[in-house]
């Protein structure tokens, strides 16, 4: 399957979810990863690139911010538990 083109814009509810659930928590996740690895980290995840892959009515379609946060928030966990 060839890559899908990014969405031009998110629907308003999805955009609000990204703002409230991902962008608001992103600094905390970056700090957690930075503390785990001992060096500054930044996370670059483009919701417009991910959104076209979310099926209509799916969790990723109506809550892309929560989906991105949950994915990024689990990055340092396996390292921390070793």
Query: DSSP labels for 42-67?
Result: -----HHHHGGGSPTTSHHHH-HHHH
Within a domain: 50? yes
Residues of the domain holding 27:
12-80
25 versus 81: the higher-pLDDT residue is 25
CA–CA dist 65, 20 (Å, integer): 7
Q: Considering the entire predicted model, what is its pTM?
A: 0.85
Within a domain: 1? no
Residue 81 — pLDDT band, cuts 50, 70, 90?
Answer: low
Rounded percentage of the chain residues whose pLDDT exceeds 90: 80
Which tokens in the block code for residue 81?
């538990």
**Hey, what long-range contacts does 78-81 have (CB within 8 A, 24 or more apart)?**
79/36, 79/37, 80/36
CA–CA dist 75, 29 (Å, integer): 9
Within a domain: 23? yes
pLDDT above 80 for 77: no
pLDDT above 90 for 79: no
Within a domain: 4? no
Within a domain: 67? yes
Total structural domains within the chain: 1
């Amino acid at each position: 399957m060839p890559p899908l083109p990014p969405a031009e814009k998110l629907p308003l509810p999805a955009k609000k979810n990204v703002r409230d659930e991902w962008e608001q928590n992103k600094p905390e996740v970056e700090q957690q990863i930075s503390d785990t690895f001992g060096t500054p980290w930044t996370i670059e995840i483009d919701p417009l690139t991910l959104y076209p892959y979310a099926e209509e009515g799916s969790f990723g379609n109506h809550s892309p911010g929560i989906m991105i946060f949950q994915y990024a928030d689990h990055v340092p966990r396996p390292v921390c538990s070793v």
